Structure 1
């Protein structure tokens, strides 16, 4: 008898010191697929998003309006949004890199966008072709124009826990950069462990730096990669400090091009299994989600890296 048939994990009521409910920010259709070498047909992406919504996920990051030259996988952003069955009660944010990307997003009728910033100079130069300081001048008109149009804006902050070129990142620096993004008008800031090197103690120090700077914890989310097998323990550390929005990717889709042997994003199924065991509400049907990730793994031609998907779907 497998673990699922045995009725595990068992709920014992919400663990002390944890949020009663966690919002799962599902990034599989965007962050999960963007580094796939073979282009996934738009019809498959649309079915993926439909299946994720059927499983109860209410925030589905759909695509990105980066230049197709840089991310060919997402060159079909307009076609995807045109064909999307937008469900009531489901958000479909998109990533925009600049003002041109915002124009495309507005023309496509989006209601939520995200911008992608860096906490370190080297990554800012390599990924944004700017300095840390210059990125704010680039993002300010994007956020301002989006807010004027009535859009919600999220800020992603990468390299919050370590940088492959610069090494460890000072938590005070992360808090300073992150708070400037919030000050531009972002309603939420997602703290990214881009190369998956964080540990729970490090998570505590970074969140403490935001607390010392006066940042409300409900404006923060976390985005962990599982390169060193720490994504779930890091997530639990963040939850214990009051974070209640967690980014994850169905089936653990997505790798990190900046770390060798990176295993990708925190798998949504692994997160849901842990939350179930902790008695934390999330609204996701685990069986439907596992079936969806197994289906997508079949389309991609390889097994899912999610331990829960493999344990249940076998």
Structure 2
């Protein structure tokens, strides 16, 4: 549904992305479209360039070979981990969407907001297959810009969750997030609490553990994860980053969002190098789960682990949903 040639490209800012996407609609769109998209979309591994000793530039292109999905897109991302000291997000991004048949620029989309939604919805979609349906307690490790999106997406996927714990190295940030979630009132029957005790104690209480940090040292101790829990690892995207220890990987049935995770995620790269698991013990990716080609959760006692690093395919599908939803609204008016 790309626009006709000659129409000017549109700019879709963060507020418009927020008002256009819902977690439910994006989760459903990804579940319905990802299997076919993996065969029609070409997506090389992301380009990563160090722009300083601590900052980096990432380029994530993807293009369709199918006339039924006539899009080419690229996300341009900057990562400045020390931005927290400036009270700024560590990641900024822009997404440019083109018509793949004509090369015409269709839209420039706030890539930061798009990434927050697509990342959280990928985790929630994986949780649909990997966490227990009766999960009641969610632990959110990290209180950055991604945390509220992950919480809301997980609550959408698992409506039985009635308690959310937030743990952060800086407790005041966790308190701010909890207060924000309480005040929004979107989930009135959910109790939001700051976890001020030890992290292992919080992990042991959780049915779903979601972790979104820039940590290079393990935060989730596998020995603390209770039977039947699901561990969702979102933060790391380089071999030096790591959010859980080897024991969590060893104890869990491990799935990834895409095959690049095995090359990019420190938890998996390290575990494979140290012989903690073999390559065959990474059991499948998100598309395998959606297509039911791989079994997700088999019983109520096993531990599942989902590691995501993000993919250009999901970016393009998310941009498609935003763009086509807006175009439909314009046509309706």
Q: Please, what TM-score do these two structures have when normalized by structure 2?
A: 0.30
Structure with bigger strand share is: 2
Structure number with the higher helix fraction is 1
Structure-1-length-normalised TM-score: 0.31
Which of the two has higher C-alpha Rg?
Answer: 2
